[in-house]
Structure 1
Amino acid sequence: MLRALVPSIYAPTVLEAAGEAALLPVIPLLARHLGFSVPAAAALAMIAGIGAVLGPIPTGRVMMRVGARRAIIASGIALAVSNVVALIVVGDGLQGHAGPGHRLALVLALVVMAATGQVWQLGRQSFLGTELPPELRARGMTTFGGMLRIGQVIGPLLGAVVVSLGHDAWVFGLFAVMTTTATVMVAVFMVPGEASGAAPPEPAAAERALDEEVEKVAEATAPVPAPDSTAQAGSRDTRGVLARMVRVGLGVTPLVMGRINRPLIVPLLGDALALDASTISVIFGVAAAIEIFMFIPAGSIMDRRGRAAVAVPCSLIMGLGYVLLSVLAPTIGTRSAGWALVALLVPCLLIAVGNGLGSGIVMTLGIDVSPERGRTRYLSWWNTVIGVGRLTAPLLVAGIALVAPVAAAGVVSGVLCLAGSGWLARVLPEVVPGRDRA
């Protein structure tokens, strides 16, 4: 069943993630070269956070009308085009005469990246939520997360090669090539029902028509309810789902913030320690390689031992890694280039162990707390809740950078992850299915 999803979901995920991973570590450096200050460069990551908060619900509505496949294809084309434009305009700004137009081009490229990223995220998550049976859900989602990690290994290494051959903006061209290839694979291979062997359903319009017919039959055969009783029951159900999402989201948000802050804090610390873009990209690639080895056991543990068995140590280990990063960077990292490399690499490896253990945990929990009926809509709500962390994370780094060294942001990120692990240990056994309750 999982093999059947390789050409439509898993392989395109590797390609798209590789392009994004090649670009993310370079964005703060591009911003600095184009004339952004350190706080402003950190604040650029807010664009993805704003998209994560405002984007999921309208994205879910559009996707319910046109279908996941069409939405992913259209957004993939837009992303590829925007990266080509950014390659041309931002590359010109790196030649020594950067101006407001070049900085605006970088911002617009990040806006398109944030918007299309919501479509790819929700589309694949909804598709997998439909295709995977409950007993394979965690393994299927962690495999998805593992493909992201593989892309995150390939991307920075390819990015380092591209940057060494040209300049930092060449990573936009790499992202465009990866996105185009992934979009073509989705267009050719994404057919609903392929994993389960079921016959492909009709397009979205036909699905809505079928739903309407089912509702008519249900209305004709159901007993007449008391006034407003159905609406009240539906309202209670909705409030219950939202309550579960918020409770779980409070513990997952620090984990999401830690993930968002890593490609922001590490490059800025590396820049402060005089490490170049290719070295920082290699650090990210090595850390992502560690994560690849973690996603296979993570899925099995979640399906057999419960979600808390993965979510709690994931957040705990990431928190310890951030604290270690913030201690080593301003101490031994300032001694020499070699020590600077050690100060960044060792904590990044520890963060990678925790992050790899949590491959797919956020998406799996989103499906766990979402009812089967109307899942795309509920997943859009879940992604909005999680989007708060994506928005808050760069705000936190930018705000701290105004008054303190970037290393202080690492300390705060670490403490939040540690607190989140404690909250998840308490909440998950009460709200998610499986062995967590044992």
Structure 2
Amino acid sequence: MGTAEQDFSFRSIALPAILPTLAFSLGEGAIIPIIPVVANSLGASLAVAGLIASMIMLGELFGDIPSGWIVSRIGERTAMIYAALLSIVGLVTALLAPNPWVLGVGILAIGLSTAVFALARHAFMTSFVPRAYRARALSTLGGTFRFGYFVGPFISAAVIHLTGSTQSVFWVHIVGCATAAILLLVLRDPTEQLAVSRAPAVMREGEKLVADEAHGLFRSIWNSRAVLARLGTGAALIGAMRASRQVILPLWAVSIGIPDAQTALIIGAAGAVDFALFYASGQIMDRWGRLWSALPSMIGLGIGHLILAFTHDVPGAVAWFIAAAIFMSLANGVGSGILMTLGADLADPRDPAPFLGAWRFTGDAGSAAAPLAVSAVVAAASIAVASGVMGVVGLIGAGILLRYVPRFAPHRR
């Protein structure tokens, strides 16, 4: 097979996953920084706004449980279409929400759909991209997701500026989900394109992978309790710090009075730094070991939170906010892909799926818990105290990673 034919095959198989993912990610990147802002505009306090923002991570955690079964039951492509439609239902609910609690229900539905969509697109690439191209395809898929988080906030800023309504940002994701569903329907099914025939009872590789991950999830967690109690705690704290960053930054902007559109622009500019480093992170891990990516990332996220904690009421608070946002994006970018890489390192190569399901659930549990913790501390004390607490958590996480990454995931030349 010639190079041109191979490239054509790769494009024809990968594009039905990459283009819909780009549309979906742009929409999600547009709304995530704005959710606490919308909640605040509907009358929510800072603490309640943080709670509403946490609903998307909580939805993803709950969605992790049935998503493998759903994808294996109805197929990768169909699961992505239905996930996009569920997200539209959640977005319309959020768009029309008369109060923060209805908004929270809509955001929870978006989180559930995101979990199914993310797992289905991974399974899709596993099924239809040949092994020779799979690494670059999955890397491109991950970069597409980060690109959406980079560009989405700029789209939000433009929409807020044009409409004068913060809630109108949900239209961006509605369009993104509708575009993703249409692309999945219009682009040729790889099963037909590759003339793949199979009995209905026979699963494709990606479907089997996600089914194996989901089957006996809690039993897999128990069986892997030794490593999850150690390095898994570090993984959960990585997820927690990343999720805290996504909630703290827009809440902080609200608390110091930054306009909505300007908030989106600042977070989008910081996202550019994050996006620019996703390839460099892989190079660091491959050349010097996993610890050299994980440790600077956690230390940086911890320090970034501590910077915010001490600069809320000082002169130039906006400048400090911008500096902290960029610094945390730099730290997050250095750690791009660390959770997936550590999970792959630790999984049994003969049967990796059960451990990978438990590992991903552990990381998502941290992502869901952190915004809830931030909201609770804001309610009990202040947003500055919440940021300081998360900064300390980040430094503790760095210590856990320093202790256990060399033991459980040593770098091998």
Corresponding residue of 2:85? 77
Distance 1:345 1:142, change over 3 A: farther
Corresponding residue of 1:231? none
Within the candidate set 362, 372, 377, 1:395 is matched to 372
Corresponding residue of 1:286? 269
Q: CA deviation at 1:377?
A: 4.8
Which protein shows a greater Rg?
1
Task: Name the Cα RMSD after superposition.
Answer: 3.3
Matches within 5 A, 1:221-370: 241-332=224-315, 339-370=316-347
Q: Give 1:414's aligned amino acid.
A: G
Corresponding residue of 2:387? 410
Q: Give 2:34's aligned amino acid.
A: V
Matches within 5 A, 1:149-228: 149-166=146-163, 167-187=165-185, 188=187, 191=190, 200=196, 202=198, 205-207=201-203
For residues 279 and 130 of structure 2, what CA distance do their matches in structure 1 show?
16
Q: CA deviation at 1:142?
A: 4.8
Q: CA deviation at 1:179?
A: 1.5
Corresponding residue of 1:116? 113
Distance 1:113 1:238, change over 3 A: closer
For residues 418 and 103 of structure 1, what CA distance do their matches in structure 2 show?
33
Q: CA deviation at 1:325?
A: 1.9
Distance 1:277 1:327, change over 3 A: same
For residues 204 and 304 of structure 1, what CA distance do their matches in structure 2 show?
44
Q: Give 1:108's aligned amino acid.
A: V
* Residue pair 1:22, 1:171 contacting (<8 A) in 2 also: yes
Q: CA deviation at 1:42?
A: 1.2
1:50 aligns with 2:27: no
For residues 219 and 74 of structure 2, what CA distance do their matches in structure 1 show?
29
* Residue pair 2:306, 2:388 contacting (<8 A) in 1 also: yes
Distance 1:329 1:15, change over 3 A: farther
Q: CA deviation at 1:164?
A: 1.0
Structure 1 SS opposite 2:32 = helix
1:24 aligns with 2:7: no
Deviates more, 1:47-56 or 1:164-173: 47-56
For residues 203 and 412 of structure 1, what CA distance do their matches in structure 2 show?
54
> Normalising by the residue count of structure 1, what TM-score does the alignment of the two structures yield?
0.79
Structure 2 SS opposite 1:207 = coil
Distance 1:238 1:346, change over 3 A: closer
* Residue pair 1:61, 1:377 contacting (<8 A) in 2 also: no
Q: List alignment gaps of at least 5 residues for structure 1.
A: 94-101, 213-234, 333-338
Corresponding residue of 1:436? 411
Matches within 5 A, 1:86-165: 86-87=94-95, 89-90=96-97, 93=98, 102-128=99-125, 137=135, 141-165=138-162
Distance 1:274 1:19, change over 3 A: same
For residues 68 and 413 of structure 1, what CA distance do their matches in structure 2 show?
37
Q: CA deviation at 1:189?
A: 5.8
Corresponding residue of 1:33? 41
For residues 199 and 309 of structure 1, what CA distance do their matches in structure 2 show?
45
Q: After superposition, what is the alpha-carbon deviation per residue over 1:9-55, rounded to whole angstroms, capped at 9, x for unaligned?
A: 33333322221121112211211221222211111233234334433
Relative CO higher for 1 or 2, CA cutoff 8 Å, sep ≥ 6? 1
Distance 1:340 1:63, change over 3 A: same
* Residue pair 2:63, 2:113 contacting (<8 A) in 1 also: no
* Residue pair 2:237, 2:363 contacting (<8 A) in 1 also: no
Q: Give 1:436's aligned amino acid.
A: H
Matches within 5 A, 1:10-21: 10-21=18-29
Q: Give 1:76's aligned amino acid.
A: A
Q: Give 2:337's aligned amino acid.
A: G
* Residue pair 1:430, 1:437 contacting (<8 A) in 2 also: no
For residues 367 and 9 of structure 1, what CA distance do their matches in structure 2 show?
22
Q: List alignment gaps of at least 5 residues for structure 2.
A: 1-5, 209-217
* Residue pair 1:10, 1:144 contacting (<8 A) in 2 also: yes
Q: Give 2:242's aligned amino acid.
A: R
Q: CA deviation at 1:132?
A: 7.8
Distance 1:303 1:183, change over 3 A: farther
Deviates more, 1:157-166 or 1:362-371: 362-371
For residues 259 and 205 of structure 1, what CA distance do their matches in structure 2 show?
39
Q: CA deviation at 1:147?
A: 2.0
Q: Give 1:308's aligned amino acid.
A: L
Distance 1:351 1:237, change over 3 A: closer
Corresponding residue of 2:212? none
* Residue pair 2:92, 2:106 contacting (<8 A) in 1 also: no
